Amino acid sequence: MQIEKTKLDGCLIIHDTVFGDNRGYFFESFNKKTFLEKTGMDVNFIQDNQSKSSRGVLRGLHFQHGEHAQAKLVRVLEGKVLDVAVDLRRNSPTFQQHVAIELSEDSHTQFFVPRGFAHGFVVLSETATFFYKCDNLYNKASEGGVIYNDASLQINWQLSANELLISEKDQVLPTLSEMVDTIQF
């Protein structure tokens, strides 16, 4: 496991060691002891989620706040996505900044998004199966989000607006400036 830091403190790109031969490949996708040794973070994942989406599906930007805030370790099992994290921690030097990374089935790269971040992704391949581990259970009352096209974030989703498929719920999320004072991490 190789850890690559991003410009956002706590957001990490994880490059796993993949062992391949003529039969296929094998890699250890998570080992709590190794993760702690490499990152210094003692994360206890308690919920796994998976989604399958078509090209252009944009899910996000979502978060949970308060006692139900979640850290996530995400990866792509099939296909390719652009994955985005936005720093919502008021005391952070990178508050309101984002980082974007391509994740694919071929790269076997994972992305760790700590508590205090909004998270989302868009599918760049025909379909994608997205998998993520969470360190806290889903709690509807604690969920929130930021509109994907917030002008202050200037996220390049790599697809044109007419290619995006966005849920009704995600189309009416507030801008960062409209909601930032209402969340606590």
- Return the sign of the alpha-carbon dihedral for residues 139, 143, 93, 171: positive
Q: Is 62 a catalytic residue?
A: yes
Among 98, 108, 119, 132, which one carries the catalytic annotation? 132
How far apart CA 88 and CA 183 sit, in angstroms, is 9
Mark whether 132 is an active-site residue: yes
> Which of 62, 65, 108, 119 is labelled catalytic?
62
Return the active site residues. 62, 132
